[in-house]
Amino acid sequence: MTATKQAIELTKLAASAAEDKLAENLVALDVSEPFALADVFLIASAKNERQAAAIADAIEEKLQEAGYKAKYREGMAAARWILLDFGDLVVHIMNEDEREYYSLERLWRDCPVVSLSK
């Protein structure tokens, strides 16, 4: 099974919003095979908590304009690892230290990378 076209378009929209707020090292993984609850994980790095919150807000705003509302959000208070769940897409915005420590790309290394180019 692979990520749906809609999930990939949603991912690209979220990545665009993250890039507008200078998110770094964006990686999208097709997790549809091993993870039944979502099609794509989008992982982005932020230099600090303020930037992480700004990235999360920008993604939510852009996706809401496109008709998608986050079903769940976690981590906004500390803003070191923010998770936004849009159903088919789960966005992880992580402080650089947390991203290195938890290494989600390593944990999900068997999953194909989704191209973020338009």
Give the separation between CA 31 and CA 67, rounded to whole angstroms. 23
The model's pTM is 0.94
Is 56 in a helix, a strand, or coil?
A: helix
Please name each of the domains of the chain with its CATH number: 5-107 (3.30.460.10)
Q: Where are the beta strands (DSSP E) in 16-117?
A: 24-30, 40-46, 72-74, 81-85, 89-95
Contacts of 100 (CB under 8 A, 6+ apart): none
> Over the stretch 55-94, which tens digit does the pLDDT of each residue have?
999 999 999 999 999 999 999 989 899 999 999 999 999 9
